[in-house]
Amino acid sequence: MKCKRTNSAPGLFVTSYSGYKNKAMCTVPANDHLRHHIVVENLQLYDADVTCQGFIRARPPSLSFLSTVAGDTSMNWTGIVSLHQDTSKEFQHVEIHACGAGRENIIAEVTVVWPDPHEQTTLSISIEVNP
Amino acid sequence: MNLYPYLPPAFAIYVLAVSAFTGMYARNLITDNVQRNIARDWEIRVGAITSMLSSLVALYSIFETSKSYAWLVGTSLVLVCVFLPLLFWIISNKAGHLESVVTRRFSMRRSTLCAILLVLINLVLIWAIYENQRLTPSHVDCGKTSNVSS
């Protein structure tokens, strides 16, 4: 499924998908919207600081984000969270709206810092969504 | 029943059990979480590699009983196919990760999964040695049979 992809690194598993009511869906419905879901799983037995970003890099875009969080724009959004050991967090507060034609790539970039063992890793996932 | 062939796989299980025991000791001795995980990680690496070597030695116990090259080659190939990826996987982990990272599917530490796998392999080897001894007629019996027929 091009609109649902996963990526992993030691101690980290990330899933990114466009979804409607927690189900992956690749096309924005006519009278409704999708949400950009990013699930971050901290598989290390250390606490982690997570920074999660969603981007639309194409200009002009055929999709746009709609977020209620200050600082987010129609082209990118940011979420941060501190995760305890062996826990997960799902970001799903950003809506995806159609604003053009043609498939669009939505990129998710997740950076995790484990302060205790001084480790850091960044994962990037690109999904494809139809307006 | 000859118990000597059982020594290598039994030793392999013993090494893994001792590793688990000293892990509890390390938990009491080292207060820093990161240092403790690194210490446990190295302990598990040494235990796993020793256990793998013992399992390979156990193959020759099976060969001693059966004198079958087909068995020796077959079981060697199976063990090498399991051990090589396992060895590369263990080596590929960063220091401390065997103890500090949990597997997503089984939600258990990587070190625990590795130990369970090695114990299972050695239990299968013990069963194989037992079956080999049961199915292979002893040399004394062969001698008696040949004497009677002559």
Domains identified in chain A and CATH numbers: 4-129 (2.60.40.10)
DSSP three-state, residue A31: coil
Q: Could you read off the pLDDT of B9-25 as tens digits, one per residue?
A: 898 899 888 888 888 88
DSSP three-state, residue A11: coil
Residue B52 scores a pLDDT above 50: yes
CB contact under 8 A, B33 and A43: no
CB contact under 8 A, B101 and A45: yes
CB contact under 8 A, B97 and A46: no
| Percent of chain B surpassing pLDDT 90 | 29
The nearest CA of chain B is from the CA of A16 a distance in Å of: 17
**Quick one: average pLDDT of B36-44?**
90
CB contact under 8 A, A41 and B104: yes
Query: What does the pLDDT read at residue B81?
Result: 92
CB contact under 8 A, B101 and A13: no
Q: Is A49 on the interface with B (CB under 8 A)?
A: no
Sheet holding A76-83, edge to edge: A76-83, A48-55, A104-114, A119-129
Q: Could you read off the pLDDT of A85-110 as tens digits, one per residue?
A: 999 999 999 999 988 888 899 999 99
CB contact under 8 A, A45 and B37: yes
Q: Is A40 on the interface with B (CB under 8 A)?
A: no
Whether the CA torsion A13, B52, B132, B78 is positive or negative: it is positive
Query: What does the pLDDT read at residue B138?
Result: 61
Quote the CA–CA distance of B68 and A124 in Å, as a whole number. 53
CB A104 within 8 A of CB A58: yes
| Residue A38 vs residues A5, A86, A100, B115, B130: alpha-carbon distances, Å | 10, 17, 24, 33, 52
**Quick one: average pLDDT of B123-136?**
83
CB contact under 8 A, A116 and B104: no
DSSP three-state, residue B114: helix
Q: Is A115 on the interface with B (CB under 8 A)?
A: no
Residue A28 scores a pLDDT above 90: no
Residues belonging to chain B with any Cβ–Cβ distance to chain A shorter than 8 Å: 33-34, 37, 93-94, 96-97, 99-104, 107, 109
**Residue in chain B lying closest to A118 (CA):** B34
User: Given 3-state DSSP classes, what are the helix, strand and coil percentages for chain A, each rounded to the nearest 5?
Assistant: 0, 65, 35
Residue B146 scores a pLDDT above 50: no
What is the rounded average pLDDT for all residues in chain A? 91
- Lowest mean pLDDT: which of A38-42, B38-42, B64-68? B64-68
Query: What does the pLDDT read at residue B141?
Result: 52
Q: Could you read off the pLDDT of B61-82 as tens digits, one per residue?
A: 777 777 778 878 888 888 899 9
Which of A44, A85, A88 to mutate to test binding with chain B, by most B CBs within 10 Å of its CB? A44
Quote the CA–CA distance of A13 and A8 in Å, as a whole number. 4
| Residue A54 vs residues A15, A40, A50, A127, B118: alpha-carbon distances, Å | 13, 13, 13, 11, 42
Query: What does the pLDDT read at residue A125?
Result: 95
pLDDT band at B55 (very low <50, low <70, confident <90, very high): confident
CB A127 within 8 A of CB A4: yes
CB A63 within 8 A of CB A56: yes
